[in-house]
Amino acid sequence: MAKTKSAYFCQSCGYESAKWLGKCPSCNSWNTFVEEVIEKPGASVPAWQSSGSTKRSNKPNKITNIAFSEENKLSTNDLELDRVLGGGLVAGSVVLIGGEPGIGKSTLMLQLALNITGKKVLYVSGEESEQQIKMRAERITSNPTADCYILTETSTQNIFKQIEVLEPDIIVVDSIQTLHSAHIDSTPGSVSQVRECTAELLRFAKETDTPVFLIGHITKDGAIAGPKILEHMVDTVLQFEGDRHHVYRILRSIKNRFGAAAELGIYAMHSGGLRQVSNPSEILLSQRDEELSGIAIAATLEGARPMLIETQALVSTAAYGTPQRSATGFDTRRMNMLLAVLEKRCGFRLSTRDVFLNIAGGIKVEDPAIDLAILAAIISSHEDIFISSKICFAAEVGLSGEIRAVNRIEQRIAEADKLGFERIFVSNYNLKGLITDKYKLEITGVNKIEDVFSLLFG
């Protein structure tokens, strides 16, 4: 009789150890190791397929002899989701979606299951009853499709039995942390269970070319719960972000084997479910009746999509002698670097001033092309002089105060031109080879931040 084997796993990162440890060597977390059984006596290799089927072993094949055909991606009837997935759903792909509780992950996946046409979708839920899912389906759509099937089950063995009978084209699992396999003797949501259940679904997806969506929980730090290997196993990792107090939600691609890993999808949460936002620039720019200081517009890119966002800055006297530095939606360390450039290169004394920065709309931006807009907003607030709402910026700022060129400047200018802006500040190096006659707005090239401030405030 085989002996039961066990090991200790870190519940934060999935690190495996033969003995209990007080501190995890991988993530430095304390008291996170839990003993789990990794092999039950007499456990067999899980097989979802029929007992009579056989699988031929693979052999090495020369790369020049491999026939390649372009993947036909399946449209999900959701333009935002298709964009983030890289153009559509690939056969046999496994997609992992993570996000805060109540952010809308289950609503998004149920809308996918109800709206996709011509495909049989199996929605597996381990968290809600059939009546709860039916109530949400009635709320988000008035005409649910007849090809959407609901299964409330947590055992992977029972799920695969129903899959063999139904033979669905797409599978949605809500959530992977609620599933458990009989081949692992541990509780659902543990490291070994999450890894084993994902491995079984991954084998099923690859051998049958059936796309699988997995909804995953996240930790208090914002990372997807379970072992880090979970993100390596799947083909695509999507992060559903947003503040529950705002209506807008952002679907961000973190990893994608079939497309760009920097795409962005924007939704608006309403009582009737999630609605696609086709033009995010209009919602990210506030409608102002009068000109206000401390506001500058930046032309940024998220994946292949150009957007114009509003950067807001507030500079005030430090009340207690120690200045505060706070940034929402932008890296605080980069903001401190830009403030140091202003002090060193332009002579603005901000060491005794509180500086608060906010990216309007609740989104997070990492594009360095918004550097110039942030500096312009800070100086606008510091001097209490407004910048015209018809001016935008698209340039990176270096440590010596030089204005650096950014990529894909034509898309940024075209988006600003489409929204009716009259002037855009870019680096002089971006003007080389740029055809400016086809744009209505004025394109101003600058070399140093002193040139920008003299043109704006001089």
User: Which CATH number is 73-278 given?
Assistant: 3.40.50.300
DSSP 218: B
Give the type of residue at 337: M
Query: 212-216 and 94-99: which strand pairing?
Result: parallel
List the binding residues for ATP: 99-106
Return d(Cα 130, Cα 132) in angstroms, integer: 6
Helix axes 156-166 and 191-208, enclosed angle (nearest 10): 20
Residue spans of alpha helices (H) in 100-154: 105-115, 130-140
Q: What pLDDT, on the 0 to 100 scale, is given for residue 1?
A: 45
Question: CA dist 427 to 83, 182, 276, 347, 408, Å?
Answer: 30, 61, 34, 22, 12
Structure confidence at residue 444 as a pLDDT band (50, 70, 90): very high
Every domain of the chain and the residues it spans: 5-38, 73-278, 282-457
Give every strand in the sheet of 16-17, ordered side by side: 16-17, 5-10, 33-39
Residue spans of alpha helices (H) in 116-228: 130-140, 156-166, 191-208
Q: Which residue has the tokens 């959701």?
A: 78
Q: What pLDDT, on the 0 to 100 scale, is given for residue 200?
A: 92
Question: CA dist 282 to 102, 109, 290, 456, Å?
Answer: 26, 26, 17, 24
Query: Averaged over 299-312, what is the pLDDT?
Result: 88
Q: Residue 105: which of 79, 136, 66, 74 has the closest Cα? A: 136
List the binding residues: 99-106
Average pLDDT, the chain: 86
Higher pLDDT, 262 or 123: 123
At 264, phi and psi to the nearest 5? Answer: -140, 135
Higher pLDDT, 10 or 215: 215
Query: Averaged over 303-329, what is the pLDDT?
Result: 88
pTM score: 0.76
Report helix, strand or coil for 411.
helix
Q: In CATH terms, are 73-278 and 282-457 the same topology?
A: no
In the structure, how many helices (H) and strands (E) does the chain have? Answer: 11, 21
The pLDDT > 90 percentage for the chain reads 44
Q: What pLDDT, on the 0 to 100 scale, is given for residue 43?
A: 43
Q: What pLDDT, on the 0 to 100 scale, is given for residue 46?
A: 45
- Class of 282-457 in CATH: alpha beta
Residue spans of alpha helices (H) in 213-359: 229-233, 280-284, 332-341
Structure confidence at residue 445 as a pLDDT band (50, 70, 90): very high
